[in-house]
Structure 1
């Protein structure tokens, strides 16, 4: 009897249903999803290879690019294999512990990606507002310390999430209306008071993505203030040009992230399939677009890529 009660309150597996209302289209939706995932893998691995093999690119901005690329690779790889298995083979089951692990990795690594974008904003601020001190402020030791602090912040703040869910009774259902395990999607299945857990989740979201976004905005206010004080138009355009790729990365990363976060908590009128589709875009599109943005808008990376491409044709 005790075993039966434990199974009822704490299921061994969860069932992922995919995108609600679009189950018949899963096989077709999987085609662009798979294509985007392959591009994300190819682009980020290429970016990491280019920066690692070119000593001229071992500068703060490019090293932060590497950190973001590594985070993007982990994020999309954590979710996509199971998603494609669900869409192609109707493999809906996911082990309880595996579900919690997937949820933790997606949320914690996403917060780290946000932190790396903030670190790039800090690099641009120093490069434009304090150009003569850039190399002395952002030393390799400081860059490593910033990266480690960002990783520890994500790991520690999201560390309680799996335990907060593991201690909940799930007596309503074990069916998750999503393509992957997500904190709020699991919270909604619990048959117990979850107010404290929801408040903690909101606090952590603000202390990571929310605070990062505010600090990024502040840094760009200071950057714009410094840029428009430059004497010549050419100097202003050059300074703004160095921020172009980073601004695109901010828009690509934060727009779907905020939409997904807000609709999960407040968007009751948003159709479920729209919310789930955007949640998948949040995991897939930024990892695909970021290497393209940096490759096309960063001269040194573009030149190095073309150099490697020309050598491979010989």
Structure 2
């Protein structure tokens, strides 16, 4: 007969307190970062006992004591986005894991109050805001004890917006070989579009700078027949058409629609996308696109994550715009 083996009992704060010769309250305070009022000898005993017993504090218990969990919420827009935002989320997740944090990715809804309530439900230690929260929502989170990162302040000037910069850059890339009829191609999607309006405004600013008419806005579905119909409605003039697109997916749809309409690329139709995706560089004609360099933003987020739990949080820094560059292909 085989004897049953009972699983090893998970050590508790009571076990740590007994080994260290202190109260459970002392153990709780020390292990939750609130042990500064105790002598160094007491803190050392608690930490040594916890290490010897391989004691891991319960996240739920810590949340009850401190009012916060070990959860980091990454708040992203509920929109179609490409590899840039995906890579940023992946990088934040890696840094969070290095600090022992669990990550929840939350898509923002159309109602700010409902989005805020959903975030507060997690009792997060911090929220990484990808450009969603307003000043009021940030203030509520601050009073709840959750840090909102990156800790930056952005000027009210709409031109100090990465999407505005992207739009201006697209216009410049499309016009580098001379004036053309400009258009902005948005993605026809049921989800929200927090990035498109700024890009369209940037393209309009680029057109004004060159003394050209305001670019027309068209909506492009990722389906050839309807994309061709949308493009044909704009390509009514004899002049060449230059289209700045929401992202590379839309740009590829515009290219396919142009070819279906018998347009020569880039002679009759020039196209610029955004995100510098791998697929855009594998097709023919190879896509001209905008690459966004998010390294400075990731460095700011990493520094703010490292500062969580410190007595004094770093002061907010002026927002620095990510660098954008044009990856020139064969569609311009």
- TM-score normalised according to structure 1 size: 0.22
Of the two structures, which has the highest relative contact order with CA contacts closer than 8 Å and spacing of 6 or more? 1
Give the strand-richer structure, 1 or 2.
Answer: 2
TM-score, structure 2 as length reference: 0.21
